[in-house]
Every structure is written in C-alpha cells, then in structure tokens.
Amino acid sequence: MIGIDDLALATGAYRIDLAAVAERLGTDPAKYYKGLGQTEMSVIAEDEDIVTLGAAAALPVLERAGRDQIRTVLFATETGIDQSKAAGVYAHRLLGLSPNVRVVELKQACYSGTAALQFAAALVARNPAEKVLVIASDVARYELGSSAEPTQGAGAAAFTVSADPALLALEPAAGLFTADVMDFWRPNHRVTAIVDGQSSITAYLEAIGGAFTDYRAQGGADFAAIDRFCYHQPFTKMASKAHRYLAQRAGSTLDAAALAAQVDPTMAYNRRIGNSYTASVYLALLALLDGEADLTGERVAIASYGSGAVAEFLTGTVVEGYREGLRTATNEQILADRPQISDDTYLARQRTMPRTDPSDYTNRHETRAPFRFAGVREDQRIYEPTS
C-alpha cells in the first residue's frame, strides 16, 4: 500500500478580494464570485517565490516525520526561477535535508505534481524504507487587464509518499492522456503565460475525459464507485464543469446535488488562494480531507491537468485514522492571516515583480514565512531563514 503520508500547504503573504479587481475592470463581481467560483487571490510578498512557498509547505511535513527517510525531493513547478538549477536544491538546503538526496525539478504546466506523485510511488515500490518529498509550488501570472487576470494566485503543496501512508492509499490503475495543443504556454522571454482561455477549457475537458477512459481501460473503478473527485482548479468552477462533463460521459445517473457533493468540498482553499498551478489539485485534496467529517474508506479521484496538454486520472482510498494527520486549524489560520491589500497595492506589485533585470537587488523583509528570498547578487538568488 503506497500513498500520500502527509500533506501541507503554503501560500502568498497577502490576499486581494476579487471585487476590487472587478471594480477596476468594470466587471460585475458576481462573474468572479459565482461565474468563476473565486473570491480572492493570494499575492506574494517581495521576498517570496516558489522556493520560499515550497519550503514553507514542506517544513511541517519534515518536522513531523523527520528527515532520515527522505532520499528524493521532486519539485514540480510551472514557474521555474532558473533555466538550469532545480528550485528544489535551494529548498533542500533551507529544509536541512541530508546531502544524500536526489533533487530534480519537473515541468509540464499544472500537471507535473502528479507525475511527481507517480515517480515517487515507483521509487517507494523499489525501496519501501524510503519516503519521497514532493513539493508543488507556483505563482500564477497572467496579463493585467486580461480575462485571465482574476484567475491568478500563488500556493504550494508539499507531500510525502511512503509505503505506509497515513492519508491516501493509491490504487494501481492510472489513466493517461497527452495531446500537443497550444492552449496555454510561457515562452522563455515572458513572465506571464499566454493563454487562449476558452480553448484551454475545451482542451482540459477533452484531456480529463481521455484520461478517465484510459483509467477505465487500465482496470480503474467505475465512475459510480468513486466517492469524491479532486480536479485541477485553475478556477473552482472548472471542477464543476469537469465533473458534469465526466458524469455525462460515464453515463452517471446522479442528480446535480449529488454530483456537487462529490466536488464542492474540494474547493474551499483554491477559491481563496486562486490558481496555484501544480499545487492546485493537491490543495483540492487537502480541502476535502480538512473539510469533511469522516471520509475513511472513501475512494477519491485525483484528476490532474496541465495545459499543452497532459492529463492523468488516478484514485486512492482514504486511510483509517487519517484525521489525526490533518492540520485543519493551521491551514485556516494561514489563509485568514493574509492581510488584504488594495487594488492599487496589488497592481504596483504585479507591475514590478518578478524582477527580470540582470542587476543586483535586495528585497524588503515582508514575509512572515519561515524562509525568504533576500535578493540577487551576481545573478545568484539568495535564500535565508527568516529568523
């Protein structure tokens, strides 16, 4: 029985209410609140990035389980901060991991956290004494003023994969789907993604549908035998759309309320964090585990999508006693503690970050997270513990 042993989150220091963005863009806030299912977006501090978010998410996982069994760190991100060096190597040092660890970065838009999960499971199958640390961390940026702007966000999920998982035991079947489509991409010269929003929704649905069909062909459970569905959530309404699409494709007879009960509890964190790309589907899983009274024995699907496009559909069962491993109150505190910033403050940040000029700079000390991105000297990023 291999699966997810522990799972924690981190997010940006600040939040902006999407009503403020709607006012500037002359849009009805209901379009964002109801139409997209998003209320807020996390905004990072000047001294935060994917490394500090990812390491912050991983720290409580390592503090609980220890570092001795970790021999691999897989860092999944769409928003890499270097063309060569893996962000996970910085995180490895900040987290105090042993030198006898392999560290690598994985990329395929929002999908690669799930590739990391499967690679981790394979490593653990080879040596059940090891645990693999997976960090999925992203800062989602689109053009200001575009229809994608309200679907930005920032967040990280960190989880360990072990042979004796405390949260979710993975089932063997996995459904896969890849198609070369240009729905969302980010050329090397850009800090914001190029996206064809409506075609990305179509590509997402087709890919998830294709992955589910393959999951069934690989011996996966019938749709009716799956209790809950965690979808990648670029905005939470996408999960509702995907679930209705899959239900119809699978010939489900469940009514709208029953279908909603299978996905709505997965949205609580992403609705407030915004899109966290690779982390999103794992924040959906965490919201589900934190939000429901008792899911013991329930079969949960992870439906992962990364534009470009790769999708994977897999399932696991919730392990008895899982609630003892949750940090529900801490997670709520992390979200509640983010000060709200005005649209002007947010705009000023978005226009100046991330810095891409080659000069040295020092970042103001803003973050309350355990690690910070202090600045750049001679093209080297400087990371340090906050205290």
Catalytic residues: 78, 110, 232
380 part of the interface to ligand COA, by CB under 6 A: no
Cα 2 to its chain centre, rounded Å, is 21
Instruction: Pinpoint the alpha helices (H) of 27-86.
Output: 29-30, 50-65
Q: Which of 197, 291, 325, 370 binds ligand COA (CB under 6 A)?
A: 197
279 part of the interface to ligand COA, by CB under 6 A: no
Q: Which of 112, 137, 200, 331 binds ligand COA (CB under 6 A)?
A: 200
Q: How far apart are CA 140 and CA 152, in angstroms?
A: 5
Instruction: Pinpoint the alpha helices (H) of 67-171.
Output: 87-94, 112-126
Instruction: Evaluate whether 285 touches 302 at the Cβ level (below 8 Å).
Output: yes
Q: Are strands 380-385 and 131-140 parallel, antiparallel or unpaired?
A: unpaired
178 part of the interface to ligand COA, by CB under 6 A: no
147 part of the interface to ligand COA, by CB under 6 A: yes
Q: How far is the CB of 58 from ligand COA (least distance, A)?
A: 26
102 part of the interface to ligand COA, by CB under 6 A: no
> Judged by CB under 6 A, which stretch of 76-84, 197-205, 321-329, 348-356 contacts ligand COA?
197-205
Chain position carrying tokens 């405390």: 166
28 part of the interface to ligand COA, by CB under 6 A: yes
Question: Which residue, among 141, 313, 149, 293, has the nearest Cα to 229 in the 3D structure?
Answer: 313
Q: Which of residues 295-324 bind ligand COA (CB under 6 A)?
A: 307
The DSSP output letter for 197 is H
Cα 188 to its chain centre, rounded Å, is 22
Q: Which of 75, 159, 204, 277 binds ligand COA (CB under 6 A)?
A: 204
Residue nearest to ligand COA (CB): 35
Task: Number of residues interacting with ligand COA: please give it, by CB under 6 A.
Answer: 20
Q: How far is the CB of 358 from ligand COA (least distance, A)?
A: 30
By beta-carbon proximity to ligand COA, the closer residue of 69 and 199 is 199
Residue 339, SS3 per DSSP: coil
Q: What is the DSSP string of 254-279?
A: --HHHHHHHHGGG-TTHHHHB--GGG
> Judged by CB under 6 A, which stretch of 23-31, 50-58, 64-72, 89-97 contacts ligand COA?
23-31
Instruction: Give residue 328's identity as a one-letter amino acid code.
Output: T
Instruction: Name the site residues for ligand COA (rule: CB under 6 A).
Output: 28, 30-31, 34-36, 147-148, 151, 195, 197-198, 200-201, 204, 234-235, 237-238, 307
